[in-house]
Structure 1
């Protein structure tokens, strides 16, 4: 009987936003290649439920995820204690499964790199972030990448440019995110009335986790300007706050409540039915105000045949073809955002042609088949390296 080939996967959260959706596909690819993924998550949540439902082995353990707020004396002590406990937990898990490979998804998971080095195991780091600070954190991550991960995966050319210039030994490989698009090509029908939006409204949607970088308040600032002239528009917000950023959500709710939007803005919170929400959308907006590495939600919007208005921040510049599949606007430039949206609001044919071009591009350049092949090739190189 052949030995089970176990791979340890470490995931920074149990949420089903971009990185969670991508790691789910990676796990399936590894399983198809004959490996047995064992996934460690920091807590319960939608991703944990999905993985268990799909037959994966899931363990819950605080991994001491490193966030900006912990880069101080007290915070680092807190993280050290959590990482020490996580380290011991992984030792016990290794005794049971005898892992062949360690896979850390996002740079927030740093315990896997240390642990893999100690146990002489190959380590894969899947990098979704562009970080400019704090400087001590960036310096630490750069050193860890150079020491323990020969070929980290980066999700865009923007991410490669950012980290590649700092690294001496590691050689990042760009593997653009790709997901199965069937449910976006043929979504379940959901009319605007199902979302309590009048059917004659033109729906402009933003989907994203609430945090300092996603730009929900910028989105609302554009909405306020647009509604002065185009009351036929309705703005839709989808997403809940990342733990610790609930105050931003309260500010968003306050702006909606006090901004005289007169029922023209709906905050749906976290939703699982993204394909059907996008089917009720006319224009998609991602107004990130901090570098966004390669937003999966833009892929979903493109596959849904929607024109995209996004800020020039990270991977969006690679994804959106200016004037062909949408528009790229400067960060926090309300006037330029208004101009881009006006062009689409006033021209039904432009929305349709850009949406179709977006769908063609996502299926041509960011297909799941391309993503899957690259992940497979990368996997086997790491195994053969050892």
Structure 2
């Protein structure tokens, strides 16, 4: 039921309105409240918060309609609409009323058919505004939920600049910059023993909330399985994780992964490639940035059960670093839609070969963001960099 406040000092107005709208009043479509001047109307509004429309005369004693409009504007009742009533041809007052916030007007002598049409038009506007407010409130709630989800996702990923302060043989650092509030990129690391360090990076085949959920599942499986079986073969663990995820995947999502185990004593890295990007190796001795020449890589995880993954190796010498990254790095685009490419990263990294992983990651990401500029970030970007210092480091 819509409550309408009718403000008019003419004694016959209440009878005329209730007679004209008796059917709507009987059917509880409309309820009318009456006031005889502006001050009376303000008191009625204070007592009846359910009022949605005000029909107000302009010329009234004690407080006229224009003054009432000014007072009403001060109350800032956003979902209240005012229809002014004035003599035909009184355009100066009508114009003033519209400038003070009136939604519409009707003229005297009142044509009640016109009044009903104007009321319905006003109600339609109120409904549009109410829907807008509802949608806006939903968006605000979603934004709050996404902000919480972002904090949860970021808290899942390790961010310490020096996560293993007692280990001087290596240092590592990771970071994630999602394209949306949350994303599907992941990375993590853990010591499996005194001589073996697991580190890996992944990229889910979607963006936003679905990818974030899939990312959380993937990371949890990796951490759980490698923590439970720290001495197990790397390839066997990947096959096992893939089988678990591939058996129940109604969304048909998948995740590319590059998983590594560093032999801390020798600098040899065993890796399994699950359809991921080629890592970059920073060679201290030559000052060059290499793209790892992978053998034929495996399929992304979660596509085919019992896929025969295999491992390969490469070696880091003391002072060398390896950078794992997701495709958001090389697929970043500027305002003219030109890709960043991996060659751009190589040029930046040549100046960072002697730096620690945290500086390598932050400087590289800063350069990519500068390249993107005002363009929208195309994809999530994750970086995980490990620097090998050797067993003689102290």
Query: What range describes the TM-score normalised by the shorter chain of this pair?
Result: under 0.3
TM-score, normalising length: structure 2: 0.23
Greater helix proportion: 1
Greater strand proportion: 2
TM-score, normalising length: structure 1: 0.23
